Amino acid sequence: MDRNTELKFSERVILLDVAFLNRTVGMVQEVMSARLGRPLPKLDLAAWLDCLLLDAGIRDFSSAEVQVLLAHGTEGDALNTCFPASLSDLDGKACRTALAEYVFSVVPTENLATAETLYRDLMALVLNNVAVRQVLMVPAMTADEAKINEVMGEVLRERRKNAEGADVQAVWFGLERPSCPVVSQWCPVVPSLAHVLGIREEELR
C-alpha cells in the first residue's frame, strides 16, 4: 500500500503489527511445541481473524467486509509463522470465510518512522475516522503499552465529543493484560491462537 494514497476505511478494521505474527506467534509455537512434544501447524491467518472477531463479541456479520491493515517494519516480506507465507501474497488481496471477507493492505514504514510509531499513527487515523465502528488492535508484544493507551485515550475522547463517533468499539488483544488501566476493551489472544494451532484447552493448564 502506498502511504501517500489516502486511506479509506471500512466500518470494521483489524490493525495488526506484522511483528506480532513473526515474533510472538513464533514464540508461542516454539514454546508450546516443546511443551507438548509435537510439532504445531502454521497459523491459518483467516481462521485466526475469525476467532478475533468472535472473541471481541462481534455477532452481527450482515456487513461482511473487514479491512485488515498490516503495519510492517523492516523484517522483510516473509511471514514465518502462518499462511499465506508472505506479505506480497496478502497486499491488495481479499479472502472470504464463513464469517467475513477480509481485505488486506500492507502499510510499510518506508524508513520514515519506526514500526511502533507507524502502528500508533495508523491506530489514531483509524479510531478518528467516523466511518469506522469497530477496531480490533493487535500491536507488537514489545510495544510501549502506556503510549498506545495514551494515544488511544486522546483520540477516543476527541472522537466521542461528536455524537457520530460515540458508538465506536475498540478492542485491544495481547498475551497479557497491560499494566496500566486500558481505555478500551481488552481481550487475551492466547485462546484464539491455541484454537487455530490445534492446542486443546487442557493442554494449556
pLDDT in tens, 93-147: 999 999 999 999 999 987 767 899 999 999 999 999 989 999 999 999 999 999 9
**pLDDT higher than 90, residue 65:** yes
Identify the pLDDT of residue 3: 44
Q: What backbone torsions phi and psi does residue 175 show, to the nearest 5 degrees?
A: -70, -40
Identify the pLDDT of residue 167: 76
Length of the chain measured in residues: 205
pLDDT bin (cut points 50, 70, 90) of residue 188 is: very high
Q: Are 128 and 162 in contact (CB under 8 A)?
A: no
pTM (2 d.p.): 0.93
pLDDT bin (cut points 50, 70, 90) of residue 161 is: confident
3-state secondary structure 35-103: HHCCCCCCEEHHHHHHHHHHHCCCCCCCCCEEEEEEEECCCCCECCCEECCEHHHCCCCEEECCCCEEE
Sheet holding 185-188, edge to edge: 94-96, 101-108, 65-72, 12-17, 134-138, 169-174, 185-188
